[in-house]
Amino acid sequence: MKILSAENLADLVDGAAIFSAGGGGDPPVGHNIVEMLTERRFPVNLIDPLEVPDDETVINFACVGATASVAYHGDAALRTLTTLEEFLGKKAYAIIPAELGGFSTLAAVDVAARRGIPIVDADGAGRTVSETHIKVYTLDNIPLTPMTIADIDAQKRGSSQANSGF
């Protein structure tokens, strides 16, 4: 496990923005998340995928939609994670970003740090993706559900076990 510094996090925003080729949200929002985590002294613990025990639950976390046109609501993101954990009946061991992006990667980092769990040094696509089901997990027939979705303020949240066949 490695604790990421503010400089590491800023580099993560910039690197994710470059590798996402313009998708994955607005990098200044990612930098705002870094600033908040640093000011509030939330440690960001990065773990290698091989450090995750086989019997633990890792949540693939994403904020989707027109992320450049909305503000990030970190508390709503945490409520959404909690809703999924309640649906599953267990707590997440770690969070893995769903994709690369100057905002989307940092939203996952934020949720993990504020929850006090590690972020996995990986992502679900190796790039930005335009649709939720376009993830490398589907190559191994790993289901994308259960899943929780929420509105921007997490006032409306819903979970599903249904598997769409992806």
> Is 31:13 a contact under the CB 8 Å cutoff?
yes
> 134 vs 150, which has greater pLDDT?
150
* CATH number of the domain enclosing 147: 3.40.1610.10
Rg (CA), the chain: 15
CA distance 7 to 152: 29
pLDDT, tens digit, 9 for 90 and up, residues 106-133 = 999 999 999 999 999 988 776 566 556 5
Q: How confident is the model at residue 56 (pLDDT cuts 50, 70, 90)?
A: very high
Tell whether 142 is covered by a domain. Answer: yes
pLDDT, tens digit, 9 for 90 and up, residues 8-31 = 999 999 988 887 777 777 788 889
Q: How confident is the model at residue 70 (pLDDT cuts 50, 70, 90)?
A: low
128: number of Cβ within 10 Å: 23
pLDDT of residue 28: 87
Is residue 149 predicted with pLDDT exceeding 90?
no
> 98 vs 126, which has greater pLDDT?
98
Is residue 104 predicted with pLDDT exceeding 90?
no
pLDDT of residue 166: 46
Tell whether 90 is covered by a domain. Answer: yes
Tell whether 165 is covered by a domain. Answer: no
Range of the domain at 90: 2-160
Q: Please report, rounded to a whole number, the percentage of residues in the chain having pLDDT higher than 90.
A: 41
Tell whether 109 is covered by a domain. Answer: yes
| Number of separate domains in the chain | 1
CA distance 119 to 94: 6
